[in-house]
Structure 1
Amino acid sequence: MSSIGNRLSLGVCLTALLLSGQVAAAQDGAQPGASEIEADAAMPEAGGERRLGSIVVTAQKKEEVLQSAPLAVSAFDTESLELKQIEGPQQLQFSVPSLVFAQLTGYTQLSLRGIGSDLTVTAGEPTVASFQDGVYVGQLFTQAVPSFDLERIEVLRGPQGTLYGRNSTGGAINYITRLPEYDFGSNLAVTAGNYGRLVAEGGITGALVDDRVAGRLTVKHERRDGYRHNLFDGRDYDGNDLFSAQGSLLFDLTPDLRVILRADKTRQSVSSVQQFVDSLPLASGVTPQTPLGIFSLPAPVLAGIPGLLSPGDLALLGNGSIADYYGLTPPGQSGGDPRKSLDIWNDFPPKQVFDVKGLSGTVEYDIGNATLRSITAYRESEADIRYDGDGSSAALLNANPIFQSSKQFTQELTLSGEALSGKLDYVLGAFYFDDEAILKADLFLPAIGDQVALAGSLTNPSAPPAFDLSRPLIPNLLQLIADPVLGTTLYRPGVSPIGTLSFGADQKTKSAAIYLNGTYRLSDRLRASAGVRYTEDEKKAFRQLHSNFVPAAALCETNTSKSWGEVTGTGGLDYDLSSDTMVYGKVSRGYKAGGFNPAECTATFDPEFLWSYEAGFKSVFANNQALFNAAAFYYDFSDIQFTTYVNNSSSIRNAAAATLYGVEVEYVLRPDAFEGLQLDGSGSWIHSEYDDQWLADPTESAILNIGGNSLIRAPEWKLNFGAQYQADLDRLGELLFRGEASYTSEVFHDVFNGKAPGQAGTIQDGYWVSNARVVWRPADDRFEAQLFVENITDEIYAHSLVASSTTAAVVGQFSAPRTYGVRLSMKLGSAR
């Protein structure tokens, strides 16, 4: 990796030298030819009303007004985040076009414009990357850990192959926390709701040294009882318990030098459950109701199979099964329809605990018309995940535990500023990423252990039988169960082992990149942008696979290493049609590194690539009464990384290719004729389809062509609507009424689109989610009270759905039911 670092350092130095003369020659003051949209948007309207789209974003590593940024980006400021109670992607998906949130037992899987990920554990990076205060957050299980005390959130749609550390093909979400302030301020908020929900959060900021050092400290604690009642043990699951704290120090050392130190720590304990949706038609006949296949069938059914059992054997069984006779895995129950019932049957209690903490230091040095910025960060993340993998009370699969940890170091350097007499804005940067990740997974499969015991005891094959089964049983069961499933010899059952499968990986990832991005003003209205990035990724992994029911020849302990180097970039034009309207077009290339399957000995998967072609339109019109933004895109997606579930294991493969195209819109209306009224929303339409490729389905009973199928979690329609009215109550303050509704059309959760045998349950039908809020702010704006109802119609929908032969079922994780509550907040001083 030292060669990577040397080459990148040399590239940064050479580029900096080329630009240094231009930087020195650039003049101070406002940028000549600056966009009129940007200049106007920075000013409030008469009467103090903020101009639509005036939020300042840093999506391109420089400050610019949202409406002047020539790319598809959604942004939310503090006021909007608090009003909608947005803490992360689970709530963002109802305000951002084409964003889909999915989660399975703690692993978050996000999609933007149909480009998403169903990867888990250490295998690969997120397709939609997350950043906190400019620091890359690399683990899937950390992406949904709630954020708070935010200044804003920015959601960038499209491949990020130039400016952002760790390339991503789908997009990026930036969480920017609030900075310390020199004026004293404090805030406190308490939320209480159904299911025993209680949230308390507060913060304080102020000067530690006048005009030199300021500090900020915020804490949050949240707990909630479970949404779902387990009929197996009488307890409630799907609960939440979170404690989070973050602090920051701001040092203004000189007028030109600023240092920001940040620290954060979060511990979250949840009990997310997998729920049974449908049985798979496996050749073994295994289901939650018949966990040992034919061995679970009652004797009267076995009697209907000619020549299987003798009359004497049937008499020994009575009305029971072979499993009953030996006291092996009993039949399970699966509960009701997960979309209609909150009752579950889980024989193993789920619990997922996440510990996340980090330190970062940001140094900003103003050197005239350029700013040198360094972000150095270290983050540690741990996950302890336990769950019932089959979603029923049958003892088919329990994860106990899956432990994952990550120690991540990142360093990014950027030089941004002006050159060529103010005609060129540029960002020159270098990025380094070093991650050490550990995965240890222990899976217990009692039913498989019992099958092995019946079809050939691994512990004591010479143990005397409990009774003498007739000879015809041996060849028939050998044909039905042993040969195709276990590939072993049928013995009389002896001591029954619990089937175990353990795997692990110690993976080291290093990545380094240099990049350059610039915008050149060809005229007062026309600008050209271009960027290029070179990235080298290197991964090394030590993998282990152990089991007591898999032949020893299939087990392994191996070392694997692989590296990739890619050039990505972007280019485009944007043009001001007027002071309020801009059009743009751009082409960009995204890339995401390959990796290793942790539960396999030698398998690897390749990088995925995406070419994006996008045209957009941004406008504020009707004298600041309306905002309308639209973007159309065409994607050429290749070597797509996706997860397959075949032969009792999951593994990541590369699909051939796919094509996507679509349209997105965002709008805000504030008609002067109806003072206090606002209508807002967004929407997306996407067409997506895989190219031809033949794949085995999880039941191993069919080879299917996925050509023409829609991509995973790429709904054709996503529509978000909002309406609010603010009434002035004079001395009593103001009252705000807000309603929100979001529609998501049919979602496919696997590449087969539910067409594989018995797997229609992997489809989530279209659904609506609606919320309502009433906010009262007294004349003294220090206080606020909000009543809210979320998911008014009690719509239950699937976050994820998976078909697996190991669980003999389609299982899924489902959304929260209707919730309601009250939020009381107080802000003093600069926090107001």
Structure 2
Amino acid sequence: MCTACVLGYAPLALAQDGITDTGQSDEGQRRLGAITVTAQKKEEALQSAPLAVSAFDTEALELKQIEGPQQLQFSVPSLVFAQLTGYTQLSMRGIGSDLTVTAGEPTVATFQDGVYVGQLFAQAVPSFDLERIEVLRGPQGTLYGRNATGGTINYITRLPDYDYGANLELTAGDYGRIAVAGGVTGAIVEDKIAGRLTMKHDRRDGYRHNIFDGKDYDDNDLFSAQGSLLIDLTPDVQIVFRADKTRQSASNVVELVEEIPLASGVSSATPLGVFSLPAPVLAGIPGLFSPSDLALLGNGSVADFYGLTQPGFAVPNPTETTDFANNFPSKQVFDVDGFSGTATFDLGAATLKSITAYRESDATIRVDNDGTSAAILREDPIFQSSKQFTQEFTLSGMAMGSKLDYVIGAFYYHDDALLKADLITPSIGDQVALAGSLTSPTPPPVFDLSQPFIPNLLQLIADPVLGQTLNNPTIIADGNLSFGADQESESKALYGHGTYSLSDKFRASLGLRYTEDTKDVFRQLHSNFVPAGGLCDRQEDDSWEAVTGSAGVDYDAGAETLLYGKVSRGYKAGGFNPGECVGSFDPEFLWSYEAGFKTTFADNQALLNMAAFYYDFSDIQFTTYLGNASTIKNAASATLYGLEAEYVFRPRVLEGFQLDGSGSYIHSEYSDELLQDPTGLATLNIGGNQLIRAPEWKLNFGAQFETEVGNLGTFLLRGESSYTSEVFHDVFNGKAPFQAGTAEDDYWISNARLIWRPNDDRFELQLFVENIGDEMYAYSRVASATTASVTGQFSPPRTFGARLSMKLGSSR
């Protein structure tokens, strides 16, 4: 087999047969970067597209086992993947989102076969049977519109083929992983109708061991099926129907990273929280101790007075071990169903395309939020559903003597989203039983939702196994804080983009998009310890409109070199906070200034693509866990600038050898603004701080060697290593009191793969080891006053396995 046939593993993938012309050189090898993309909603060569885009064909995806953003982040410059209890939070070039639930919409937009995926929890559902993935960096405000401020990720599945084909893939690995995937394609009516059906089941045991109940968690069980019909009604009319169904069951856990002792006091030094603190330290909390209480306790603590001890579990360090301690079993179940129809009409001088789609998504999430064996706070459950309809029309073609290449379109989006969340706080029940004077018990006070849980004595009992209550042995019900939102969202847009050829080498482009967004929400807030008058039932609506677009020029500096520059504007709609009775947040906007070049040189032995950018970011949406609410706010503004590079080097003097990789440098900083930290202990100026999940350096390296060994076939050895510098998970950059744990130290992730292909090319065996260094970094880190701690969700440990695949007919 020729070396070119496996070059799809490079960050800038080569073309797969059937996608585009092979673009072969004199040596019979396909040219570097010779893949066709549809990033600008028209077919064009990757190296001819004047924008920063990374593309991966089928071979690249299969080799690196890329199924979603979790793996993409180690092959794409400046892309960072994060996840919080099932909600995906992507960042590109430092522009990202830490939002969750119905109010949180993505900043990096995801599309599947041209259909927008609106819900955060559906963005990380693994994809398979893909023809390619395209990652567009920078605001895509013209062609992709809303919520594409950071960029877009486009997943394109394989179309049915009229020639028969079948494929089967078996994977086995440690942690009991077993995966089976297969598909079949072929003609149903010769030259008129073709079909494709694929299915996948992937399951494994848990990565992490709970020392509290002795069980393993962080397991995964995924079933997915896809079906498609290609109908050629006439030579000029083609219709593609697609349906997909995915069900994923997992038990991702939240782990304690750092305690905030001045708020909760739950630590090895104060194992009973504020009960362990000397009474004079607590004397300033209104209503906690009467003068007679203070006289009775003296300089001692409540724990000393009653002789209480806490037989709880010591919490392991989540960056050093897969052991953890949770008193409540976490579980997340996601169901996603999608249906779409794409009709393409060849009008001669233009092409009209219609994409109609309907998607239903459901998530049921249960998680121990405090990350400890203490019964402090759990989500039991959070239920979220979405019913989404989209319609898009595009008209594209050439005009003005083929000098103008244009795309015009209209887009409609409607989503009915429902959120119901129950936050269970067992310690509130204990608090009510204990409330009042130590010397003169009184009826419990009204729980004040306007104050954080901690000043309301949420954590006076930090573990359910105390063996003794103070004043009232009566069993009190767990505290319950329920909030919900029933939200209807609608978006309408008109857009147009044109590229005019000023000469054979010089082109100018202009694009505009007008968007109207409307949201109508009914919010509720309830608690079993709050009188009816304190509940929230509120109906609100708001609307926003924006004009976004781009303008640019590009120039062919040579047969293999493209220079380009452009200015663009991105927009993300505002919304409402479902966890509060009041409060909304504004849209965010981004101005982008970018210049870059793409080139292949040394007679097709090397490829280098680079881009430099400057961003002016305003009204930035971010989340803070202040008091008893997860609140989305707007920071004033920020500036960012950076440099990206992607490269492939394939020297002919070392036949079969290849180097490839990518990298990014980003400088980012917020403007001056005073914000209160989650515990309420300090008001800090975030000016000069880095943006959330905007690492200064992100470097990806790859090397491979392929050789033929006689009748045995072809062997390929590949190694990959990715470096990410320090990452901050909140706007305070770990500078808030006792919250250094929100910062993630730099880390390396390295993988190795050995591939064997027999000479008949029907089979392939891959042996792999991923995360060789057993590095466990945080997908997310959150500081919260509710739990008085920093908690996080962490990446998988080192894994290994083998994959055997078989392809027949047109699937080869």
Give yes or no for TM over 0.5: yes
For structure 1, which segment, 382-391 or 540-549, has the greater mean C-alpha deviation from structure 2 after superposition?
A: 540-549
SS in 2 for 1:794: coil
Counterpart position of 1:510:
490
Aligned to 2:240, which of 260, 263, 283? 260
Mapped pair 1:735 → 2:715? yes
- Conserved 8 A contact 1:499-1:547: yes
CA distance in 2, matches of 1:559, 1:316: 47
Residue-by-residue CA offset, 1:202-230 (whole Å, 9 max, x unaligned):
00000000000000000000000000000
**Once the 2 structures are TM-superposed, how far is the Cα of residue 484 of structure 1 from its aligned partner?**
8.4
Q: Does 1:485 align with 2:465?
A: no
Q: Which residue identity does 1:263 align to in structure 2?
A: A
The residue number in structure 1 matching 2:728 is 748
Match for residue 602 of structure 2 among 593, 604, 622: 622
Q: Secondary structure at the match of 1:680?
A: strand
Shift of 1:288: 9.2
Call closer, same or farther: CA 1:441–1:473 in 2, change over 3 Å: closer
| 2:5 match | none
Partner of 2:25: 45
The 2-side partners of 1:663 and 1:677 are apart by: 27
Deviations 1:644-664 (A, max 9, x none): 111122100000000000000
Identical positions, percent:
69
Tell whether the 8 Å contact from 2:452 to 2:786 is kept in structure 1 after alignment: no
Deviations, residues 343-387 of structure 1 (Å, cap 9, x unaligned): 110000000000001000000000012110000000000000000
| 1:114 partnered with 2:83 | no
2:463 alignment counterpart: none
Q: Deviations over 1:94-148 (max 9, x none)?
A: 0000000000110010000000000000003100010000000000001110000
Aligned pair partner of 1:470 in 423, 439, 443 = 439
Classify 1:289/1:415 alpha carbon distance in 2 versus 1 (closer, same or farther; 3 Å): farther
The answer to whether the 8 Å contact 1:308/1:472 transfers is no
| SS at 1:130 equivalent | strand
Cross-structure match for 1:198? 178
AA at the equivalent of 1:735: F
Alignment of 1:357-506 (within 5 A): 357-456=337-436, 469-470=438-439, 485-486=455-456, 493=472, 495-506=475-486
Instruction: Tell me the residue number matched to 1:152.
Output: 132
Give the structure 2 partner of residue 63 of structure 1.
43
Residues matched between the structures, number: 771
Contact 2:37 2:43 in 1 (8 A): yes
1:105 is aligned, of 85, 96, 107, to 85
Which residue number in structure 2 is paired with residue 711 of structure 1? 691
Q: CA deviation at 1:286?
A: 5.2
CA contact (8 A) 1:414 1:427 kept: yes
> Which among 149, 160, 181 is matched to residue 180 of structure 1?
160
C-alpha spacing 1:399/1:732, structure 2 compared with 1 (3 Å): same
Segments of 5+ residues of structure 2 without an aligned counterpart are 1-19, 284-288, 461-469
How much does 1:482 deviate? Answer: 11
Mark the CA change 1:726 to 1:317 in structure 2 (over 3 Å): closer, same or farther: closer
Q: Which secondary structure state, in structure 2, belongs to the residue aligned with residue 485 of structure 1?
A: coil
Asked whether the 8 Å contact 1:618–1:628 carries over to 2, the reply is yes
CA distance in 2, matches of 1:552, 1:487: 22
Contact 2:278–2:300 (Cα < 8 Å) also in 1: no
SS of aligned partner of 2:732: coil
Cα shift readout 1:718-743 (whole Å, capped 9, x = no counterpart): 00000001101132210000000000
Q: Structure 2 residue aligned with 1:828, among 797, 808, 812?
A: 808
Q: Where does 1:230-241 land on structure 2 (aligned, <5 Å)?
A: 230-241=210-221
Q: Measure, in 2, the Cα distance between the counterparts of 1:222 and 1:740.
A: 24
Q: 249-258 or 277-286: which moved more?
A: 277-286
In structure 1, distance between residues paired with 2:157 and 2:292: 72
Distance 1:428 1:299 in 2: 70
Does 2:34 align with 1:54? yes
Give a deviation string over 1:363-420, Cα, whole Å, max 9, x none: 0000012110000000000000000000000001110000000000000000000000
Cα deviation, residue 48, structure 1: 2.9
After TM superposition, give the deviation of residue 483 of structure 1 in Å: 12
**Superposition map of 1:486-635 within 5 A:** 486=456, 493=472, 495-550=475-530, 552-635=532-615
**Structure 1 vs Structure 2 CA RMSD:** 2.8
Letter in 2 for 1:485: P
* 1:201-280 correspondence to structure 2 within 5 Å: 201-280=181-260
Distance 1:550 1:627 in 2: 64
Matches of 1:707 and 1:221, distance apart in 2: 48
Residue 448 of structure 1 deviates from its aligned partner by: 2.6
Cα distance, 1:799–1:63 mapped onto 2, change above 3 Å: same
Change (3 A) 1:483 1:529: closer
Does the 8 A contact of 2:764 with 2:804 survive in 1? yes
Give 1:295-310 correspondences, 5 Å limit. Answer: 295=275, 308=293
1:725 corresponding residue in structure 2: 705
Q: Distance in 2 between matches of 1:214 and 1:730?
A: 39
CA distance, structure 2, for counterparts of residue 334 and residue 174 of structure 1: 44
SS at match of 2:246: strand
Cα offsets for 1:313-356 (capped at 9, x unmatched): 999999674877xxxxx664352110001111000000000000
In 2 relative to 1, CA 583–302 (structure 1 residues): closer, same or farther, beyond 3 Å? closer
8 Å contact 1:165–1:431 — kept in the other structure? no
Structure 1: runs of 5 or more not aligned? 1-39, 325-329, 457-467
TM-score by length of 1: 0.89
Q: Of the candidates 605, 610, 624, which is equivalent to residue 644 of structure 1?
A: 624
Cα separation, partners in 2 of 1:575 and 1:293, compared to 1, 3 Å: same
1:741-820 mapped onto 2 (5 Å cutoff)? 741-820=721-800
- What is the distance in 1 between the residues matched to 2:692 and 2:303? 48
Aligned to 2:12: none
Q: Go from structure 1 to structure 2 and tell me whether the alpha carbon gap of 1:672 and 1:695 turns closer, same or farther (over 3 Å shift).
A: same
Give the 3-state SS of the residue equivalent to 1:414 in structure 2: strand
Question: Partner of 1:141: helix, strand, or coil?
Answer: helix
Preserved CA contact (<8 Å) 2:293 2:438:
no
Whether contact under 8 Å (2:278, 2:301) holds in the other structure is no
**Aligned counterpart, 1:14:** none
Say if 1:428 and 1:484 are closer, same or farther in 2 by CA, change over 3 A: closer
Q: How far did 1:497 drift?
A: 3.2
Distance 1:550 1:48, change over 3 A: farther
Deviations 1:757-779 (A, max 9, x none): 00001110000000000000000
SS in 2 for 1:422: coil
Contact 1:289 1:332 in 2 (8 A): no
Of Structure 1 and Structure 2, which has the larger fraction of its residues in helix?
A: 1
Q: How far off its partner does 1:45 sit?
A: 1.6
- Check whether the contact 1:300–1:319 (CA below 8 A) recurs between aligned residues: no
Q: Report SS of the residue matched to 1:160.
A: coil
State how far apart, in whole Å, the 1-side matches of 2:265 and 2:301 are: 23
Task: Give, in whole Å, the separation in 1 of the partners of 2:295 and 2:364.
Answer: 50
What CA distance in whole angstroms lies between the structure 2 residues aligned with 1:212 and 1:799? 47
| Alpha-carbon spacing, 1:243–1:284, altered in 2? closer, same or farther (3 Å) | closer
- In the superposition, the TM-score normalised over structure 2's length comes to 0.91
Q: For residue 438 of structure 1, what is the amino acid of its counterpart?
A: L
In structure 2, relative to structure 1, the CA distance for the partners of 1:372 and 1:451 (3 Å cut) is same
Does 2:663 align with 1:683?
yes
> 2:393–2:410: 8 Å Cα contact kept in structure 1?
yes
Change (3 A) 1:670 1:314: closer
Counterpart Cα distance in 2 of 1:381 and 1:736:
40
Question: Equivalents in 2 of 1:566, 1:252: separation in Å?
Answer: 39
